Amino acid sequence: MHRDIQTDNWIAVCNLDDIVPNTGVCALLNKQQVAVFHVDDGSARVFAIDNYDPNSEASVLSRGLVGNLGERIVVASPIYKQHFDLQTGECLEAPEHSVATYPARIDGGKVWVGL
């Protein structure tokens, strides 16, 4: 459920070093909770998805465990352990509960998320 919009509005979330590699943080951007993940599998990358887990109806995805299922980089929800693809937002066990993704990038040592 990638938001297919032109991203002219980039918001600096934090320094890349503020996020421990292979974990996430929650950022409040325009009154919406966004889970931002720093994935380091040889090169640092960042991903942003909704923080709200529709399976448990709780805002917890930023606290999930980051890993791989095959070629997919995922976060496992800390409550019911469903896996969300960090690139697409797809919930692998229940695709009808997929979440939105946001463009994210690293620039000048900072993490930026596009809204």
Give domain status of residue 89, yes or no. Answer: yes
Beta strands 110-114; 10-15: pairing state: antiparallel
Whole-number mean pLDDT of the chain?
94
Residue 79: predicted pLDDT: 97
What's the pLDDT tens digit per position in 52-85?
Answer: 999 999 999 999 999 999 999 999 999 999 999 9
Give domain status of residue 98, yes or no. Answer: yes
Give domain status of residue 61, yes or no. Answer: yes
- Using CA atoms of 28, 95, 69, 33 in order, give the dihedral in degrees to the nearest 10: 0
Residue 8: predicted pLDDT: 72
Percent pLDDT > 90 in the chain is: 91
Domain range spanning residue 84?
9-112
Give domain status of residue 93, yes or no. Answer: yes
Q: Specify whether the CB–CB gap between 37 and 75 falls below 8 A.
A: yes
- Answer whether residue 2 shows pLDDT above 90: no
Q: Read off the pLDDT band of 7 (50, 70, 90).
A: low
Give domain status of residue 19, yes or no. Answer: yes
Give domain status of residue 2, yes or no. Answer: no
Give domain status of residue 20, yes or no. Answer: yes
